[in-house]
């Protein structure tokens, strides 16, 4: 039995004919059949749907996983970041250095507290922040260095920590892609003054929507607890819709079923009317505006499902590393542009990014076997325009180039060895055809 087979988690328990069509979705496999049974049971237990003991249990387990003392759950990672910035006293006149590519909601959270986002380009081999450029952008107004562990590739934390110490600024780690990743044997999220994570449906574990702020600083934990207490609870109706969406996605992303239900699945993600729950990014957020409902907590039912997955995180990450290693070895040997993580890092690839000359052609070539992710199609993903986040076109050329050339290969627990072979073969064949 090979390494990939030993580390797999969440694969189908039913024996399918190997000749049936198989299509790997962009996401899936983090939830198990037992999780779905638990979600169904929660739908019929209204007393534990919104406010319940699972929240505290989940927060304690999450803090223990990261290696810190405090964790605070929220409806999304962006709310967690917003709360951290407020708790740190960041506001008007302050600057926060962040990288591109990133997501519009990260920029939004900075602007919601009245601070100014200062964008820095990325490194082409990790898509993490160019720390040399970041140092040049630091001014007397700079209060926070916001470090994104892009795709689950840890930042060079030795260099980052030394920079922050010299300049007297705070580090917040953006770990939305990186749950389970580590640097020099230590979990990401435990290096800075604070960190935030996401458990939105595309991430390493899924509660449909969800986020977590963590810190080891009791002086920061106190105002974060106050902020969380002031956030509104989600309605029972919204929580129900999140659970239903999670259940349906679990079914629809089964690789042997996905070829037949893909169109329904995609429509449910895009449509205002058909979506089981609100879209992950609202129209207002895409235009850099604050939505009417923003400061919200995570429900107990979602915490329950996320906690179940957190307990299986070791298997999940081991599988993603085995898949990523296979991509690295197979594609790297053919001269493809693959990531080069820092020497002391242990990535936990939520998706595996590769640089291709023709994104559309690559997506079409792999389409019979898998749906490729397209993080990032913009320097500020999902923005109606990067200008809404006050980004100046041309200021970060590496990130802008990456937004034209990156595709992301699936690493989630439903990816099998046969899928890797089909994906890699399609990409290599396409590359060979272009070289002729």
- Per residue in 244-290, pLDDT (tens digit) is 999 999 999 999 999 988 877 677 666 544 455 668 899 999 999 99
Q: What is the DSSP letter of 129?
A: B
pLDDT at 9 over 90: no
DSSP for 184-203, written as a single string: TTEETTSSSSEEEEE-STTS
Q: Are strands 102-103 and 380-381 parallel, antiparallel or unpaired?
A: parallel
Percent of the chain at pLDDT above 90? 87
Q: Mean pLDDT, the chain, as a whole number?
A: 93
What is the spatial distance between Cα 132 and Cα 279, in angstroms, rounded to a whole number? 36
On whether the CB atoms of residues 97 and 145 are closer than 8 A, the answer is yes
pLDDT for the residue numbered 326: 98
Q: How many Cα neighbours within 13 Å face the side chain of 92?
A: 0
- Per residue in 342-371, pLDDT (tens digit) is 999 999 999 999 999 999 999 999 999 999
What is the spatial distance between Cα 191 and Cα 223, in angstroms, rounded to a whole number? 20
**What Cα–Cα distance (Å) separates residue 70 from each residue in 62, 368, 376?**
9, 45, 31
Res. 5 pLDDT band, cuts 50 70 90: very low
Secondary structure of residue 135 in the 3-state scheme? helix
Q: Which two tokens stand for residue 250?
A: 């679990």
Q: Where are the domains of the chain?
A: 313-435
pLDDT for the residue numbered 20: 76
pLDDT for the residue numbered 283: 95
Secondary structure of residue 285 in the 3-state scheme? helix
pLDDT for the residue numbered 272: 47
- Per residue in 150-191, pLDDT (tens digit) is 999 999 999 999 999 999 999 999 999 999 999 999 999 999
What is the spatial distance between Cα 304 and Cα 307, in angstroms, rounded to a whole number? 5
pLDDT for the residue numbered 270: 61
What is the spatial distance between Cα 333 and Cα 94, in angstroms, rounded to a whole number? 46
Secondary structure of residue 349 in the 3-state scheme? coil
What's the chain's length in residues?
Answer: 436
pLDDT for the residue numbered 19: 62
Q: Please name the residues in contact with 370: beta carbons below 8 A apart, sequence gap of 6 or more.
A: 23, 24, 25, 409, 410, 419, 422, 423
pLDDT for the residue numbered 31: 97
On whether the CB atoms of residues 302 and 207 are closer than 8 A, the answer is yes
Instruction: Say which CATH architecture domain 313-435 belongs to.
Output: Alpha-Beta Complex (3.90)
DSSP for 246-264, written as a single string: HHHHHHHT-TTTHHHHHHH
Q: Which of 12-16, 17-21, 313-317 is predicted most confidently?
A: 313-317
pLDDT for the residue numbered 14: 40
């Amino acid at each position: 039995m090979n390494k990939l087979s030993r580390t797999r988690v969440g694969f189908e328990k039913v024996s399918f004919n190997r000749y049936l069509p198989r299509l790997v979705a962009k996401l899936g496999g983090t939830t198990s059949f037992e999780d779905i049974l638990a979600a169904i049971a929660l739908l019929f237990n209204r007393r534990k749907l919104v406010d319940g003991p699972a929240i505290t249990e989940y927060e304690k387990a999450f803090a223990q996983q990261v290696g810190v003392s405090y964790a605070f759950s929220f409806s999304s990672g962006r709310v967690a970041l917003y709360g951290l910035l407020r708790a740190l006293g960041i506001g008007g006149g302050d600057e926060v250095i962040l990288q591109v590519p990133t997501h519009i909601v990260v920029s939004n959270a900075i602007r919601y507290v009245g601070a100014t986002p200062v964008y820095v380009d990325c490194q082409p081999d990790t898509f993490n922040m160019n720390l040399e450029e970041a140092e040049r952008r630091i001014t007397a107004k700079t209060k926070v260095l916001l470090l994104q562990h892009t795709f689950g590739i840890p930042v060079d934390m030795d260099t980052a920590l030394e920079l922050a110490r010299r300049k007297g600024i705070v580090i917040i780690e953006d770990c939305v892609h990186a749950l389970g990743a580590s640097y020099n044997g230590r979990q990401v999220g435990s290096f800075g003054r604070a960190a935030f994570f996401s458990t939105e449906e595309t991430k390493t574990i899924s509660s449909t929507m969800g986020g977590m702020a963590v810190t080891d600083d009791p002086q920061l934990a106190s105002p974060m607890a106050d902020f969380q207490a002031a956030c509104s609870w989600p309605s029972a109706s919204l929580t129900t819709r999140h659970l239903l969406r999670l259940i349906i996605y679990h079914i629809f992303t089964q690789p042997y079923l996905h070829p037949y239900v893909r169109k329904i699945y995609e429509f449910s993600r895009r449509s205002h009317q058909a979506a089981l729950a609100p879209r992950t990014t609202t129209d207002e957020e895409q235009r850099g505006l604050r939505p009417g409902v923003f400061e919200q907590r995570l429900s107990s039912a979602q915490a329950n499902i996320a906690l179940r997955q957190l307990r299986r995180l070791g298997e999940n990450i081991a599988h993603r590393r085995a898949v990523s290693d296979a991509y690295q070895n197979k594609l790297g040997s053919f001269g493809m542009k693959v990531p080069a993580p820092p020497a002391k890092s242990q990535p936990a690839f939520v998706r595996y990014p590769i640089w291709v000359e023709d994104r559309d052609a690559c997506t079409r070539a792999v389409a019979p076997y898998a749906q490729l992710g397209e993080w990032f199609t913009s320097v500020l993903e999902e923005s109606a325009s990067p200008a809404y986040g006050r980004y100046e076109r041309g200021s970060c050329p590496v990130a802008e180039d990456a937004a034209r050339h990156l595709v992301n290969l699936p690493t989630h627990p439903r990816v099998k060895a046969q899928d890797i072979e089909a994906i890699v073969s399609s990409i290599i064949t396409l590359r060979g055809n272009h070289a002729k």
